[in-house]
Structure 1
Amino acid sequence: MTTPYQLYYWDGLQGRGEFVRLALEEAAIPYADVARQKKGMPALMASLDGGQVDHPSFAPPVLQAGGMLIGQTSNILMFLGARHGLAPRAQEGRLWANQLQLTICDIVAEAHDTHHPISTGKYYEEQKKEAKARSKDFRLHRIPKFLDYFEGVVTRNPGRGGWAIGSRLSYVDLSLFQLIEGLRYAFPKTMTKLAPSYPALTALHDQVAARPNIVAYVASQRRIPFNEDGIFRHYPELDK
């Protein structure tokens, strides 16, 4: 089996790398999750080193495709989507998919900042008071604002099938699945309360969850469990 892609992301974390993994898994593309292999971390760090590569990334995820190193989640997905049938064929559709993916990246960043509102260099325990205030605003205002937007995207999509774009699954649908999974893990009480307001997103999530390649991936050891070192973290005191 050939391995056309090398994915560089931190070992032990879903993080932003998970959005890329889901696209690779859905398209049944062989890939190496480099940092999880022997001597993988030095290889990951080399992808960020401007002294060793011409186009270093600021941070993972990074995808190596032949001689190319591609950074940033939305950039990687735009590349994979066009190459492997996970994005619209027309330029307008591909730009729309990238726009939606960038918006998903926005809420993912805000989810991270609920538990690290002051500094990523400090432990959560050093900013718990601020995290409670940030999480309250995120739960009451920001989650509904983003989900309202994505619910509207899905319900207004002229294509059939309940997807975000057109009439077939795209990488945006995979990313919305991961977003909902992450929010349910981090804020289960909040998401249970909000669920009835978002039937289209719930249906989209369930459709993705039932796809054979995603079912197999989620059940495999390749799928790293959510944990309190990643972007989506469950601290009960932040979900009251």
Structure 2
Amino acid sequence: MTYQLHYWPTIQGRGEFVRLALEAAGAAYVDVAREPPGKGGGEAALARRLDDADNPRPAFAPPFLVDGDIVVGQTAAILLYLGPRLGLAGSGEADGLWTHQLQLTIADMVAEAHDTHHPISSGRYYEDQREAALERAKCFREERIPKFLGWFERVLERNPAGDLHLVGDALTYADLSLFQLVAGLRYAFPKATARVLADTPAVAKLHANVGRRQRVHDYLQSPRRIDFNEDGIFRRYPELDG
């Protein structure tokens, strides 16, 4: 079965966490909105699926995953569904639940990163809320990045199987998502993130190790990996980096 990933075709966004899991596992999938319209792709296909009146369980927003008759929305829920199927959720129920908890914490930080450049409203331009963004970003840099990455550092240090992975001794989607989180922070807040990573060496090591995995490395070098840009979650506004 080929999975169908539905997400915006020009940004990494929240869909990238799902895409990394599919790529790392070597799973067959179609990035529907990035397919040519003539092949049933494009943003129009994404919009049609969102507005499908025959779907009794509509997705609120992308990303969502289609697997046969099953449609799963929300990044963490998609990964909760995919994790065991792709061998990326640890071993057993306890590992699976812990992996999900880690993903939810990453989702919290992703939302806070987004709100640094849109602290008042997602519907307004950054330039219309720049003063509020400067204040929000200062707190994010000085308080929230150290708190979140410091917690992940402790998780790695306390893993009974060693500090190479967040869960057990094998790759999980939580490792992949932490990799993406760090990559986004390094893009948006390069100075602040470098300072925190100097104090969280296990997090920095995990990020480097994940990026060296063959399938992940090949994906990162391919055109399938969209560059970070100022339409996505992680945006580089130098003034927000202090």
TM-score, length basis structure 1: 0.96
Unmatched 5+ residue regions in structure 1?
A: none
On the 8 A contact 1:35/1:44 being kept in 2, the answer is yes
Distance 1:161 1:145, change over 3 A: closer
Q: Does 1:16 align with 2:4?
A: no
**What residue in structure 1 maps to residue 135 of structure 2?**
133
On the 8 A contact 1:47/1:69 being kept in 2, the answer is no
How many corresponding residue pairs? 238
**What residue in structure 2 maps to residue 46 of structure 1?**
48
Deviation at 1:91, TM superposition (A): 1.1
Q: Does 1:178 align with 2:177?
A: no
- State which drifts further: 37-46 or 11-20: 37-46
Q: Does 1:27 align with 2:29?
A: no
On the 8 A contact 1:158/1:166 being kept in 2, the answer is yes
Q: Structure 2 CA distance, aligned partners of 1:161 and 1:120?
A: 37
**What residue in structure 2 maps to residue 36 of structure 1?**
34
Unmatched 5+ residue regions in structure 2?
A: none
Q: Structure 1 CA distance, aligned partners of 2:91 and 2:150?
A: 27
Q: CA RMSD in A?
A: 1.1
Q: Structure 2 CA distance, aligned partners of 1:59 and 1:10?
A: 10
Q: Structure 2 CA distance, aligned partners of 1:112 and 1:196?
A: 23
Q: Structure 2 CA distance, aligned partners of 1:48 and 1:36?
A: 16
On the 8 A contact 1:88/1:94 being kept in 2, the answer is yes
Equivalences for 1:59-70 in 2 at 5 Å? 59-70=61-72
Q: Structure 2 CA distance, aligned partners of 1:130 and 1:108?
A: 18
Q: Structure 2 CA distance, aligned partners of 1:32 and 1:160?
A: 35
Q: Deviations over 1:9-54 (max 9, x none)?
A: 0110000000000000000112111111223222212332251312
Equivalences for 1:76-155 in 2 at 5 Å? 76-155=78-157
Q: What is the identity, as a one-letter code, of the residue corresponding to 1:28? A: G
Distance 1:141 1:12, change over 3 A: same
On the 8 A contact 1:47/1:62 being kept in 2, the answer is no
Q: What is the identity, as a one-letter code, of the residue corresponding to 1:179? A: L
Selected match of 1:167 from 162, 166, 169: 169
What percentage of aligned pairs have identical amino acids?
A: 55
On the 8 A contact 1:46/1:53 being kept in 2, the answer is no
Deviation at 1:152, TM superposition (A): 0.6
Q: Structure 2 CA distance, aligned partners of 1:109 and 1:229?
A: 15
On the 8 A contact 1:14/1:225 being kept in 2, the answer is yes
Q: Deviations over 1:128-182 (max 9, x none)?
A: 0000000000000011111111111111001136100001010000000000000
Q: Structure 2 CA distance, aligned partners of 1:49 and 1:150?
A: 38
Q: Structure 2 CA distance, aligned partners of 1:222 and 1:106?
A: 26
Q: Secondary structure at the match of 2:148?
A: helix
Q: Secondary structure at the match of 1:47?
A: helix
TM-score, length basis structure 2: 0.96
Q: What is the identity, as a one-letter code, of the residue corresponding to 1:37? A: E
Selected match of 1:214 from 204, 213, 216: 216
Q: Structure 2 CA distance, aligned partners of 1:89 and 1:76?
A: 18
Selected match of 1:200 from 188, 199, 202: 202
Deviation at 1:239, TM superposition (A): 0.4
- State which drifts further: 42-51 or 134-143: 42-51
